[in-house]
Structure 1
């Protein structure tokens, strides 16, 4: 039995439209499933936990939605051990990209029903679990501004989620002021004057495909960190096109770090987000939880070949 978790509001209504497509495909394939419609991230975890507790033969919990919907059920899936599947229907869909899940609904469903898993790490920031990245500073402020904007809804309606982020960058650039930050990675502290952002990543991208930490791997037990500091507004604006291809990592005002735990303390209150969802403005302490989640992913096929395995829901990735 598959549990489908549908956020009808994801991607400006794309979640519900995508679910109608998936539902028709499931009926054609005579697949056994149950659908759970969620409307609030605050209640999604408890809804999923209650549903999963009703039976023991769940093959997977498959989210039809975006990164925020996935974020809301991570705690339930970690506790239950049920694998996560993804049918992308959000604005950014960076979780899908990070696990090589197709953006087309039917192709994503095909891969999910193959039931091949890899183990993935989770990020734990003061008890809040995150799968893609915990970002603080400028890009977190961009996300806060975008989520509160009218242009996000318009961009979602025309299938241009990344455009909303680009507009948000220009919007935020006019008002954001950098400040000093202390970053402690595996106990080693480094300070940066005039820091714009600190991103702690588990997957390579966020913001709709921006490769903030292109070397990040979901199952290596490590956090990848990007710090942007000591740069003018004009230089920061010119930096963003390089992020699309992940070419910013060698620039003199970009520092890349890697470790199992990271603490971030800005000299002034700065917003933080996890999977695009608000985490407040307090200093951050982020730890890696290795292999805490199983994810249905096309990447498992390559893992199976490398391991010489043929079973479903493989461990290791």
Structure 2
């Protein structure tokens, strides 16, 4: 057998180069096939995402173009209704006034509309998947590794296929945010249902409740505090993702932060970061207070 490369066989010597060529060919084939598939189904993709685009545009128009005092009063009312705390409500008032004072009201409203839509979509997707995981150990074993990938894979990586499929714009940014924000909702829905007291489940079985009745009348009401924690974490994840989503065409505060990074505008970046932190704290405190109220209510009913 002919030898080369310091006595190694030719085949072994050339193996790394052959492997590299094969990998390049596989990558070209996969990338080309993926692009061709996207071109063929692009009309279906546009039709499927059109309602979501209209909903986002409508909500953004309502938030950004309505008189600021109306939006301000609505947000403050929601904060008080959720928390029933004057301290949290006052904090929300001061945060919103500070955002308006530094001239970031419009951008904040755009970000709020994006976070609202993404949170709604993430809850709609995450809640049934979490219920499925809670009711089936086999489904849980299948779903959890997928959630691990969604939470650990760098967001820039899954932005690539999203942009290839949907192009540049609000919808791909929204999809990237939903991918990042959905896992907490699924995990905490699964956890909340599984933590429901088994004695309560046995009592429901003794009264002849069906699986559907147990879910809607026992498990979901008793797991509401945990579900609210899931919604809280979903909101926080969505807010933390808006800066990355701005890379694919999402406006608002994230776009300003990205511009500040590119141009090294410290003040601009700090003010927009402050606005993000302010609304994140307001959402966090209001949703946590609402969850605590739900927990006390369910404990009273259980007793």
Interval containing the TM-score (normalised by the shorter chain)? under 0.3
**Structure whose alpha-carbon radius of gyration is higher:** 2
TM-score by length of 1: 0.24
* Structure holding more strand per residue: 1
TM-score by length of 2: 0.25
* Structure holding more helix per residue: 2
